Amino acid sequence: MEFLAFGTISIVAIISAFMAIFVKSPIHVMVWFLVFILSVASSFFALGADLLAGLQLVIYAVAIVVFYVLVITTIPWEKVKMFEGFYLKELIMALPAFLFTIGSAFYLTFNAKLSNMRVPLPKDNVSALGTVLFTKYIAPFELASFILLIAMIGAIIFGKEKANG
Amino acid sequence: MDKYYMMLGILLVFIGICGIIIRKNLITMLVATEIMLNGANVSLVAVSHFLGKVDSQVMSIIILTVAASEVAIGLGLIVSIFRLRGYEASEEITELRD
Amino acid sequence: MPSLILLFPLLSFIIIGLFGKRLGDFTSGVINATAGILSFLVALLTMLNLKTPEDIIFYKFLPISNTSIDMGIYIDRLSITTTVTVTFVASVIFVYAIGYMRYLFGNWTFKFFAYFSLFLFSMLLILLGDSLVLMFFGWEGVGLASYLLIGYFHEEKFATKASLEAFVMNRIGDWSFILGIIYTFWLFGSVSLPKLFESASYVPGITMATLLLFGGAVGKSGQLPLHTWLPNAMAGPTPVSALLHAATMVAAGVYMVARLYPIFSLSSTTLTYITITGILTMLFAALVATVHDDIKKIIAFSTMSQLAIMFTALGMGFPTAAMFHLTTHAFFKALLFLGAGAVITGLHHHTQNIFEMGGLKKYMPITFIAFMTGAFALSGFPPFAGYFSKDAIVSSVMDKSTLVATVILITSLLTAYYITREAFVVFLGNAHYHEEPHEVEPIMSFPMLILSFLSLTGGFLLWSYFSYLNSDIESPMSFVLHSFYGILVAVIGISVSYALYVKKLIDPNTLYELFKPIHKLMKSQFYTEYLYHNIISKGYLAVSKLIYKIVDRIMIDGFVNGLAKIFMVLVRFVWEFMDIRFIDIIIHKLVIWTFSFSRKLKVIQSGYLNQYIFVILLGIVIILGLIVKGMRL
């Protein structure tokens, strides 16, 4: 049963990722990207990380994709050439590296002996996560909020019109 | 089972790198970056499922947060570049100043 | 306490040397004289308190394996009596010198007094030093002082030449002396005087050592063949001539032989040689003195002659007689020189030729009395001091060798002749002067009177002197009897000169015409001066000039210049062949290559984002590979 879930999720993820990077128009890219997000979220569900899945959906599928689409619409695509082709040369040059790395990583992962350390996850994921987050990892949590604040300020500054100075 | 999720995660990361190398448009390059991040997240959650602890999920949350802010900044930069130069292909933005 | 004898003149030298300019010339002269007088007083006190010979060591100079060369003073009867004499005469002359140099005050005359103090200090080192090394230091010191003082009028060419001549001849003597010291050290293992006296015994080679030591005395005392400097040394101021070249410095040679007599007496060859030198020199000097007419040169030759008599006495084996003659000689020779200086001052330094003077008796009576006293003392006329000391020598020598005694008597005859000749020509007769001469001031005449008194009465100390030094001498009665010949020759000499120059029985000029070739021979010092100056030194200079021209200029300079030319040619060749071809081209190529390489390298920095990311990927791959390699699978 698990394998089935895993198989579906992985196939969808890989295909959507490939399509996301190979299609021409940016909007098509965004569509495939959305599919990709959903598949990743479902993989989180399959692995028992409920909160993460929810967060993933909210942040990515809602905020980030919308943001991308917004920016894509600000570009006057009639003045700018929409697609100019791929850097195929680099891809071909990189393929051996990819193959080598992926091959070795798969080999290593496959041959790793993990079975004797298996412990089941707590059932209530949200409360467990919340407990850990607010006790052990309070510092990174606060820093993350700080980063968000800075990013917000930065985004506002970027967004200003030049005339306002 | 977790092994395979890890392999999936690694594969996604490399697909993301591949995407960055290939694309010319800056926006789509950022999308590929997001793919990479998501791949990393998958790996982390697989680890958490294997270990039975939620600590790596915390890391995953933080990565998520940071990814969001990074997208915001990145797109803001792209908008500025476009306003300045009038184009946003990585081919033409090669020099820091004209 | 006896070290104070040495300390006073040394202090005086240092004080005058450093502060003389500020102290002024007169004060420097006073300091100088005071130091001399103080030294004399301390020496006198030491002599009166002396019981046994003592050796006071100051300082271990040079420790060598089992011996060491020390510096100290050695006081025994011989050295202390000579020290008393020397310091006394020196003090008297120092006082005189203040008056004599007065006409030069304001012209850095304090230098003169500083040199005088230096001289006295070095002389005392010779007299009191307890090792040959210290004696040598003093030897060199007096040589230096002599050079400085003879050449005191350093703007006159003649004076500088004379001082250099004195120094060089002295140096030749010193060379022999130091070889002698080394040889003595090698023979006996020590240079310390007490040790030498103890270990003096005949060893083969002692003749050579003593001959070498005597060589030093020859140079210092102006005996043949190192004699030409002594008459020329009269170029210095008169107090210098009085002190150095009459009473003390030239006597250092005699003292040295007398001091080392335990060693000299072991080699009869050396003693014979000393006697021969003495005889030759005394005759030579006496003959030459009879024809000179410079007031100081005559006295200088008489010094040479009297020293020769002392050396003869030493050679014949009578050191005490020689030393006594040294003492009295110091008195009357200094007196003669001071008188000559007074005459020169009185005539306002116009002339030093005796035939341009005359009749000074009525102008300078005190000087006249002093000079006559000295002249009679020198002639050996009783009861003046010279009679006692000279006849002590004659009678002692007569027993051993009639020949030597005869030579001494002939010399005494000549001595009486020439010194009274000088005295009569200068003081008697009548002459008129352009500028009237005047008597000298008391500061100069008082020392002369002291010395006159001593020249008159000093001879009577003969018996106490000999008994103090533990030597034998005949009783006064037999002494007077044996001195018959001495008195005879003195009378003959004085009367001959009286007849010639006062009464003018025979006209000196006709005599001169008669004996002209002999006169020329003797006047030029038997051509020794000509020999030394023109042939030896000029020849040496010519040879060295020739060598300079040939070797230095042609060979060495030519060689060096040629080498330089070859070097330049070589350099040019290297530059053309190697520099331009290899090095310049290499550098040019290097530059071009660097530029092209950098141009190729610039491609990496393209600005293309995708390319950068690709490179990052490659880097990641490499790192991953390394990690994998390090992992244990």
Q: How many Cβ atoms are within 10 Å of B25's Cβ, its own excluded?
A: 24
pLDDT at res. A156: 86
Q: How many domains, chain B? A: 1
Q: What digits encode the pLDDT tens for the residues A4-58?
A: 989 999 999 999 999 998 888 888 999 999 999 999 999 999 988 889 999 999 9
Q: Of A71-80, A155-164, C121-130, which range is least confident?
A: A155-164
In a domain, B93, yes or no: no
Q: What backbone phi and psi angles, to 5 degrees, belong to C68?
A: -155, 150
pLDDT tops 60 at residue B1: yes
Q: What is the rounded average pLDDT of the residues C568-591?
A: 84
Interface contact C611-A90, CB threshold 8 A:
yes
Q: What is the rounded average pLDDT of the residues C329-357?
A: 83
Q: What is the C-alpha separation between C469 and C460, in angstroms, rounded? A: 15
pLDDT tops 80 at residue A112: no
**Over chain B, what is the mean pLDDT?**
86
pLDDT at res. B35: 95
Helix (H, G, I), strand (E, B) or coil at A149: helix
- The shares of helix, strand and coil residues in chain B, as percent rounded to the nearest 5, are 80, 0, 20
**Over chain C, what is the mean pLDDT?**
82
Q: What digits encode the pLDDT tens for the residues C459-510?
A: 787 777 777 777 777 777 777 777 777 788 888 888 888 777 777 666 666 6
**Least CB-CB distance to A94: which of C617, C628, C633?**
C617
Query: If contacts are CB pairs under 8 Å, which of residues 145-164 in chain A contact chain B?
Result: 147-148, 150-152, 154-155, 157-159, 162
CB C394 within 8 A of CB C483: yes
- Return the half-sphere exposure (C-beta side, CA atoms, 13 A cut-off) of residue B27: 28
pLDDT tops 90 at residue A66: yes
pLDDT at res. C508: 66
| CA triple C401-C405-C411, angle to 5 deg | 150
pLDDT tops 70 at residue C209: yes
Helix (H, G, I), strand (E, B) or coil at C55: strand
pLDDT at res. B12: 94
Q: What is the C-alpha separation between A73 and A30, in angstroms, rounded? A: 12
The domain made up of A2-87 is a member of CATH 3.90.1150.10: no
More confident residue, C294 or C359: C294
C352 to each of C31, C342, C348, C414, C509, how far by Cα in Å?
A: 30, 11, 10, 22, 20
Q: Of C30-44, C203-217, C308-322, C355-369, which range is least confident?
A: C355-369
pLDDT tops 70 at residue C216: yes
In a domain, B36, yes or no: yes
Sign, CA dihedral C237-C242-C243-C244, equals positive
Which positions in chain B touch A57 (Cβ < 8 Å)? none
Q: Of A67-76, A107-116, B36-45, which range is least confident?
A: A107-116
C253 to each of C135, C322, C511, how far by Cα in Å?
A: 11, 12, 38
Which positions in chain C touch B95 (Cβ < 8 Å)? 607
With both helix axes pointing from N to C terminus, report the angle between C157-188 and C132-150 in degrees, rounded to the nearest 10.
180
In the structure encoding, which two tokens stand for residue C574, read together? 């290297």
Q: What is the C-alpha separation between C141 and C139, in angstroms, rounded? A: 5
C165 to each of A111, B70, C277, C429, C603, how far by Cα in Å?
A: 113, 107, 21, 37, 91
What one-character DSSP code corresponds to residue A120? Answer: P
pLDDT at res. A37: 95
Residue type at C431 in one-letter notation = A
How many interface pairs between A and B have CB atoms less than 8 angstroms apart?
228
Reported as a pLDDT band with limits 50, 70 and 90, residue C75 is: confident
Which helix H or strand E contains A155, and what residues bound it? helix A138-159
In a domain, B20, yes or no: yes
Biggest alpha carbon–alpha carbon distance for chain B: 55
CB C483 within 8 A of CB C392: no
Reported as a pLDDT band with limits 50, 70 and 90, residue C455 is: confident
Q: What is the rounded average pLDDT of the residues C406-433?
A: 83
Q: Is C152 exposed, middle or buried (0-12, 13-18, 19+ CB in 10 A)?
A: buried
- Return the half-sphere exposure (C-beta side, CA atoms, 13 A cut-off) of residue C431: 21
Q: Which of C608, C609, C628 to mutate to test the interface with B (most CBs of B within 10 A)?
A: C609
Which positions in chain B touch C608 (Cβ < 8 Å)? 90-91, 94
C391's CB contacts (< 8 A; 6+ apart) are C380, C479, C482, C483, C486
Q: What is the C-alpha separation between A156 and A159, in angstroms, rounded? A: 5
Helix (H, G, I), strand (E, B) or coil at A163: coil
**Over chain A, what is the mean pLDDT?**
86
Q: What digits encode the pLDDT tens for the residues C139-154?
A: 898 889 888 888 888 8
Q: What is the rounded average pLDDT of the residues C560-581?
A: 85
Reported as a pLDDT band with limits 50, 70 and 90, residue B91 is: low
Is the minimum CB–CB distance between C616 and chain A shorter than 8 Å? no
In the structure encoding, which two tokens stand for residue A23, read together? 């299609």
Got the DSSP string for C405-418?
HHHHHHHHHHHHHH
Q: What is the rounded average pLDDT of the residues C281-290?
A: 86
pLDDT at res. B88: 60
pLDDT at res. C271: 87
Please give the residue of chain A at the shortest CA–CA distance from B33: A21
User: Of C73, C56, C79, nearest to C6 (Cα)?
Assistant: C73
pLDDT tops 80 at residue C420: yes
| Percent of chain B scoring above 70 in pLDDT | 87
**Least CB-CB distance to B91: which of C608, C614, C617?**
C608
Reported as a pLDDT band with limits 50, 70 and 90, residue B13 is: very high
pLDDT tops 80 at residue C133: yes
Interface contact B23-A87, CB threshold 8 A:
yes
pLDDT at res. C609: 79
pLDDT tops 70 at residue C192: yes
Q: How many Cβ atoms are within 10 Å of C284's Cβ, its own excluded?
A: 22
Which range marks the domain in which residue B52 is found?
2-85
**Least CB-CB distance to B94: which of C607, C613, C617?**
C607
Q: What is the C-alpha separation between C21 and C18, in angstroms, rounded? A: 8
C487 to each of A41, B82, C409, C490, C611, how far by Cα in Å?
A: 156, 144, 10, 5, 135
Q: What is the C-alpha separation between C296 and C378, in angstroms, rounded? A: 15
pLDDT at res. A29: 92
More confident residue, A31 or C518: A31
Q: Give the CATH number of the domain where residue B63 resides.
A: 1.10.287.3510
Q: What backbone phi and psi angles, to 5 degrees, belong to A31?
A: -65, -50
Q: How many Cβ atoms are within 10 Å of C129's Cβ, its own excluded?
A: 24
Q: What is the C-alpha separation between C78 and C122, in angstroms, rounded? A: 18
In a domain, B94, yes or no: no
In the structure encoding, which two tokens stand for residue C599, read together? 């141009």
Helix (H, G, I), strand (E, B) or coil at C479: helix
CB C123 within 8 A of CB C85: no
Neighbours of chain C (3+ CB pairs under 8 A): A, B
Which positions in chain A touch B22 (Cβ < 8 Å)? 21-22, 86-88, 90-91
**Least CB-CB distance to A147: which of B15, B21, B69?**
B69
Q: What digits encode the pLDDT tens for the residues C250-285?
A: 778 888 888 888 888 888 888 888 888 889 888 888
